[in-house]
């Protein structure tokens, strides 16, 4: 696979931590919300995977931008954008929420943080949700303020993240529940910290608003983390595919509805809340979907997915398309996330795929893999 | 300057021409509208600049995505989003239009193509205008359809682009006026072609809807173009800075209003048309702006601008910030685009800037440079 450089410019925004991760040996970037997202640090993909699963990593995920919606109508606007019923939501809790349009199709899948009933953060995937929210607020004449606040997240992920964070923030941080958040003091500055993160290895996300303190905290995490074998890292392709953590733009986009993405438990059609696309989703539910995201295991040692790749059955019928994929050390074959057409949903459905002009076989399975 | 790789994934969309430009030697990419935008082809920045100014280049600018707004209320919605009066616009014409929000701040600066009164394309810069349009259409309950159509632009730029295009599309294409567009036949397939492009060297943009024909046309341009010394290329930093072609995300963003960007001639406050932020812009106009985009010339041989760099006066007061900059072969010094504070707008205002920990001096000037 030929490699290409990234042409840096102000438009591909740096983060407050960029100069640090470049000193720490970052070798490649993705772009996420118009911002640099580190993608590798020179070690092999498998080494960083093993490290993440066994130790602790600090990630510069400032590119997980926030859309702050505040004001009298903020709860109404946030609810309008998601099919998840937030009427019983609580302050200081995180909610994974599909954002959908009036056609019932996916626009984003943020973590929604309810700071209070009149102030919400949407910690977004890679699309300009702020423009959707602004358009709606203007059109509906809502009494809200919508901004992208200065928040640059540091994620601390991996099984040893709890011990590391306890050293810095003491016992109170261990008591934080999954998807809960609270404010924690670091040398006199309060930081919003959630027990969350884009891995299934456990950990925290620190929503840094005070950059000076955040940079000091970043350095402190590496200092204190030495005994836990801390390393810089980033959201990890192998880990996230094995864990079935879906990625907007990769695994699904505005051509897919939340049922097709398997988000059924975040779709509340029976409650009274008002949200966009509700009638559409009712119709889709009653008619049934004809494609859905599933896992695939492929008897291959290597893959690079930079666009959808067709999956076929033994008779060469297209049965779906692979959208993400990577060699899995756990399965010792390629694991992938694919949109599969209805007649082929059965687990163990055989598939064929062409990788670098060679044909490989495999099978369909449910998500998550692990 | 250390270089970093781009981590490819489906989310950073390939274009129909990606495999071709990779064979042709593309070495780096930017990301624009969630899509690969080629940024260099292995030759030096100055060589490709000289080539663009003297010959003809073919660019894969599929990342200039279209937002298609059609239906009964489409003209109303398009007008609502821009401060430029489109009431006297004509079919088959392109219009450069600042898109602004209700605060009168920039959201994008597309070329708007009026296909007809009920079908418009916004050929956008790097932000998800489609989400803003959708939000507005839903909130105002407009009768419109909004999609991202399958359009992948090939640009043909440079002084010899006219001769090359005439060889393929005959005399009719030479008669096309600047910012006019029409439909031209290539081997039985009609293509929308505009006299436009993201350089000041002249040329065309081919809005390819039929990919098969587009790929054949792409190859044909290189075949026929041999006698004109055609090369693959891309929007060029030196050329666009010298020409004062502004870039959303680099030179301005949602923190700036169109007056600050120098878009005065595209702001129609006296006509009757209804658009967002109109009252705000009237207020801004009457109160006057306090910063605006200007050029700077710096006595340095090299610069790399991946974030804003402060500009100071001789007393170390911050007088503005550099947002784009590059060594200009024409001026034999660095030319840049900077947001300058009001007291320092005078041409020849001296500036100081720190580049790689060394101090350089220069002066303020008007845009465009050439």
Residue B270 CB neighbours (<10 A): 8
Which chain B positions have a beta carbon within 8 Å of A102's beta carbon?
A: 134, 138
Determine the residue of chain A that is closest to B147 in CA distance.
A254
Respond yes or no on whether the N-terminal peptide bond of residue A100 is cis (omega within 30° of 0).
no
Q: Which two tokens stand for residue B358?
A: 């060394």
Distance of CA A196 to the CA centre of its chain: 11
Q: How many helices (H) and strands (E) are present in chain B, helices listed first?
A: 9, 22
Of B102, B137, B307, the CB nearest to A10: B307
The answer to whether the CB of B155 falls within 8 A of the CB of B197 is yes
Q: What is the DSSP string of B20-63?
A: HHHHTT--EEEEETTEEEEEE-SS-HHHHHHHHHHS-EEEE-TT
Tell me the average pLDDT of chain B: 97
CA distance A323 to A302: 15
> What gap in Å lies between CA B274 and CA B77, rounded to an integer?
10
Which residues lie closer than 8 Å to A17 by C-beta, 6 or more apart? Answer: A60, A62, A152, A154, A215, A218
Residues A90, A73: contact at Cβ < 8 Å? no
CB contact under 8 A, A12 and B26: no
Q: Given this model, what pLDDT does residue B111 score?
A: 98
pLDDT digits (tens, 9 = 90+) for B85-120: 999 999 999 999 999 999 999 999 999 999 999 999
Q: Name chain B contacts of A30, Cβ cutoff 8 Å.
A: 6-7, 9, 11-12
pLDDT tens for B64-94 read 999 999 999 999 999 999 999 999 999 999 9
* φ, ψ dihedrals at B207, nearest 5°: -85, 90
**pLDDT for res A46:** 96
The count of CB pairs under 8 A between chains A and B is 179
- Share the mean pLDDT of chain A: 97
**Chain B interface disruption, residue of A134, A147, A278, A323, most B CBs within 10 A:** A134
Structure tokens that stand for A351 in this block: 């598939």
Phi/psi-derived region of residue A256, left when phi > 0, alpha when psi is between -120 and 50, beta in every other case? beta
| The two three-digit tokens of residue B18, written as one number | 């990606």
SS3 content of chain B, % helix, strand, coil (to 5): 25, 35, 45
Residue of A110, A131, A132, A253 to mutate, interface with B, max B Cβ within 10 Å: A131
SS3 A292: strand
Q: Which residues of chain A make contact with B280, given a CB cutoff of 8 A?
A: none
Q: Of A185, A199, A242, A178, which Cα lies nearest the Cα of A55? A: A199
pLDDT above 80 (res B339): yes
CA B239 – CA B198 distance, rounded (Å):
9
Kindly report the nearest CA distance between residue B327 and chain A, in angstroms.
15
| CA pseudo-torsion sign A51, A52, A55, A60 | positive
Q: Is B132 on the interface with A (CB under 8 A)?
A: yes
Residue from the list A3, A140, A249 with its beta carbon closest to the beta carbon of B34: A249
Whole-angstrom distance, CA of residue B359 vs CA of residue B299: 10
Q: Which residues contact A51 (CB under 8 A, 6 or more apart)?
A: A43, A57, A158, A229, A231, A233
Which residues 72-111 of B have a C-beta within 8 angstroms of A?
A: 101-102, 107
Model pLDDT, residue B195: 98
Q: How far is residue B77's CA from residue B137's CA, in Å, rounded to a whole number?
A: 7
CA distance A172 to chain B (A): 38
Strand-pair category, B309-312 with B318-328: antiparallel
Rounded to two decimals, the ipTM of the complex is 0.98
pLDDT at B290 over 80: yes
> What residue ranges of chain A have pLDDT lower than 70?
none
- pLDDT value at position B370? 87
B7 lies within 8 A of chain A by CB: yes
Alpha carbons B346 and B365: distance in angstroms, whole number: 8
Q: Does residue A30 belong to the interface with chain B, where contact is any CB pair within 8 Å? A: yes
**Structure-token pair, residue B277:** 């932020």
Chain B CB contacts of A7 under 8 Å are 28-30, 39-40
Beta strand ranges found along B195-308 (DSSP E): 203-208, 231-233, 291-298
The verdict on B40 touching A (C-beta cutoff 8 Å) is yes
The structure's pTM equals: 0.98
Asked if B230 has any chain A CB less than 8 Å from its own CB, the reply is: no
Across the interface, do B7 and A127 touch by the CB < 8 Å criterion? no
Contact A307 B10 (CB under 8 A): yes
Contact call for residues B49 and B239 (beta carbons, < 8 A): yes
E strands present in B271-317: 291-298, 309-312
Going from the C-alpha of B7 to that of each of A42, A57, A119, B30, B36, the distances in angstroms are 12, 19, 35, 11, 11
CB contact under 8 A, B138 and A134: no
Measured in angstroms, the CA of B176 and the nearest CA of chain A are apart by: 33
Give the Cα separation of A98 and A103 in Å (integer). Answer: 13
What's the confidence (pLDDT) of residue A208? 98
Q: What are the E-state strand segments in B103-188?
A: 106-108, 111-116, 119-123, 145-147, 152-157, 181-186
Chain B residue with Cα closest to A30: B7
pLDDT tens figures, B37-69: 999 999 999 999 999 999 999 999 999 999 999
- Which residues, listed in sequence order, are joined to residue A21 by a DSSP beta bridge? none
Strands B28-32 and B35-40: antiparallel
- Residues 144-163 of chain B with CB under 8 A from chain A are 148
CA distance B356 to chain A (A): 13
Of B31, B306, B323, the CB nearest to A31: B31
Report the pLDDT value the prediction gives residue A1, as an integer from 0 to 100. 75
Task: Look up residue B78 and give its DSSP letter.
Answer: H
> A140 in contact with B at a CB cutoff of 8 Å?
yes
Residue A277's CB is within 10 A of a number of other CB atoms, namely 23
Measure CB to CB from residue A132 to each of B12, B131, B305 and give the nearest one: B131
Using the CB atoms, write b or e for B94-105: b if 16+ within 10 Å. bbbbbbbbbbbb
- Give the integer Cα–Cα distance in Å for A141 and A135: 10
Say yes or no: A321 contacts chain B, CB-CB below 8 A: no
Note whether A33 contacts B: Cβ–Cβ < 8 A. no
For residue B26, the chain A residues in CB contact (below 8 A) are 4
In 3-state terms, what secondary structure has residue A298?
Answer: strand
How far apart, in whole angstroms, are the C-alpha atoms of residue B119 and residue B108? 19
Residues B5-25: tens digit of each pLDDT: 999 999 999 999 999 999 999
Alpha carbon B101 to its chain centroid, in Å, reads 19
Please state, in angstroms and rounded to a whole number, the distance separating the CA atoms of residues A320 and B202: 44
In the numeric block, the tokens 């720490």 are attached to: A24
Q: How many CB atoms lie within 10 A of CB B360?
A: 18
In angstroms, the first-to-last Cα distance of chain A is 28
Which of B4, B26, B249 lies at the smallest CB-CB distance from A26? Answer: B4
B265 touches chain A (CB under 8 A): no
Q: Which residues of A touch B137 (CB under 8 A)?
A: 135, 139
* CB contact (8 A) between residue B9 and residue A250: yes
Residue written as token pair 């821009």: B82
Q: How confident is the model at residue B323 (pLDDT cuts 50, 70, 90)?
A: very high
Nearest to A138 among B29, B128, B276 (CB): B276
Burial class of residue B280, CB neighbours in 10 A (0-12, 13-18, 19+): middle
Does residue B8 belong to the interface with chain A, where contact is any CB pair within 8 Å?
yes
Q: What is the pLDDT of residue B1?
A: 75
User: pLDDT by residue (tens digit) across A218-256?
Assistant: 999 999 999 999 999 999 999 999 999 999 999 999 999
CA distance A129 to A107: 8
Provide the pLDDT confidence category of residue B154 given band limits of 50, 70 and 90.
very high
Closest alpha carbon to B297 in B331, B252, B262: B331
Please report which helix (H) or strand (E) contains residue A213, including its range.
helix A211-224
Contacts of A26 in chain B (CB under 8 A): 4
List CB contacts (< 8 A) between A137 and chain B.
135, 139
Select from A58, A262, A26 the least CA-distant residue to A157: A58
Strand partners of residue B185: B190
pLDDT at B318: 97
Residue B137's contacts (CB-CB under 8 Å, 6 or more residues apart) are A135, A139, B73, B77, B144, B146
Cα distance between residue A249 and residue B196, in whole Å: 30
Where residue A212 falls (left for φ over 0; alpha for ψ -120 to 50; beta otherwise) is alpha
CB B16 within 8 A of CB B62: yes
Counting every residue, how long is chain B?
A: 370
Q: With an 8 Å Cβ cutoff, are A9 and B2 in contact?
A: no
User: Under an 8 A CB cutoff, do B14 and A307 touch?
Assistant: yes
Report yes or no: A2 at the B interface, CB cutoff 8 Å.
yes
Q: What is the pLDDT of residues B24-38, one digit of tens each?
A: 999 999 999 999 999
């Amino acid at each position: 696979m030929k490699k290409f450089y990234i042409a840096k410019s102000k438009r591909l925004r740096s983060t407050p931590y960029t100069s640090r991760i470049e000193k720490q040996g970052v070798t490649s970037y993705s772009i996420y919300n118009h911002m640099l997202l580190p993608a590798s640090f020179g070690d092999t993909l498998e080494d960083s995977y093993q490290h993440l699963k066994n130790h602790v990593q600090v990630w510069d995920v400032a590119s997980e931008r926030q859309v702050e919606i505040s004001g009298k109508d903020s709860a109404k606007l946030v609810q309008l954008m998601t099919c998840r019923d937030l009427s019983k939501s609580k302050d200081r809790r995180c909610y994974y929420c599909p954002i959908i349009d009036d056609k019932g199709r996916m626009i984003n899948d943020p973590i929604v943080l309810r700071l209070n009933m009149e102030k919400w953060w949407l910690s977004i995937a890679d699309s300009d949700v702020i423009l959707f929210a602004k358009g709606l607020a203007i059109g509906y004449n809502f009494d809200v303020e919508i901004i992208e606040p200065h928040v640059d997240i540091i994620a601390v992920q991996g099984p040893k993240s709890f011990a590391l964070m306890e050293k810095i923030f003491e016992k109170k941080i261990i008591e934080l529940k999954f998807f809960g958040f609270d404010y924690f003091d670091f040398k006199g500055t309060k930081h919003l910290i959630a027990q969350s993160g884009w891995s299934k290895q456990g950990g925290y996300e620190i929503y840094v608003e005070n950059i000076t303190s955040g940079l000091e905290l970043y350095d402190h995490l590496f200092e204190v983390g030495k005994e836990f074998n801390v390393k810089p890292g980033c959201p990890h392709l192998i880990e996230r595919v094995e864990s079935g953590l879906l990625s907007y733009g990769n695994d699904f986009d505005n051509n897919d509805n939340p049922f097709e993405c398997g988000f059924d438990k975040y779709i509340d059609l029976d409650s009274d809340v008002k949200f966009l696309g509700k009638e559409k989703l009712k119709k889709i539910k009653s008619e049934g979907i004809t494609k859905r995201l599933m896992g695939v295991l492929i008897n291959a040692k290597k893959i690079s997915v930079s666009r959808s790749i067709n999956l076929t059955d033994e008779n060469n019928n297209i049965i779906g398309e692979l959208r993400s994929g990577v060699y899995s050390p756990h399965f010792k074959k390629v694991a992938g996330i694919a949109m599969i057409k209805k007649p082929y949903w059965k687990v163990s459905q055989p598939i064929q795929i062409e990788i670098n002009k060679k044909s490989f076989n495999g099978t369909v399975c449910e998500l998550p893999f692990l």
